[in-house]
């Protein structure tokens, strides 16, 4: 039973060290916690990622809005290519 308390105390100490390290890094500007705004973007952003679909571990298709245009882009470790531009008519169907 004493070993269980010792392990629990050890876990608490490690968690306290991690939380303290993250707090200090955030205070010094070395870490930014941005949450979900990175993917979706805000209303004031010109470029927004509407949706991202992973095809494989290293290949992804992105639907991106740039101003009033929406484009479909494929990305892989070696390249990024425009697949097509999607019109408003195609989105509404």
DSSP conformation class of 80:
E
Over residues 11-61, the pLDDT tens digits come to: 999 999 999 998 888 777 666 655 544 444 456 778 888 899 999 989 999
Residue 32's SS3 state is coil
Give the pLDDT score at 39.
Answer: 46
Rounded Cα–Cα distance for residues 91 and 13 (Å): 52
71/92: higher pLDDT: 71
pTM above 0.85, yes or no: no
Mean pLDDT for the stretch of residues 65-77: 91
């Amino acid at each position: 039973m004493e070993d269980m308390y010792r392990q629990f105390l050890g876990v608490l100490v490690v968690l306290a060290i991690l939380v303290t390290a993250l707090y200090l890094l955030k205070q010094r500007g070395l870490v930014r916690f941005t949450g979900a705004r990175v993917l979706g973007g805000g209303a004031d952003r010109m470029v927004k990622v509407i949706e991202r679909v992973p095809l494989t571990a290293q290949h992804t298709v992105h639907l991106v809005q740039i101003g009033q245009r929406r484009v479909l882009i494929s990305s892989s470790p070696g390249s990024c290519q425009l697949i097509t531009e999607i019109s408003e008519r195609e989105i509404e169907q």
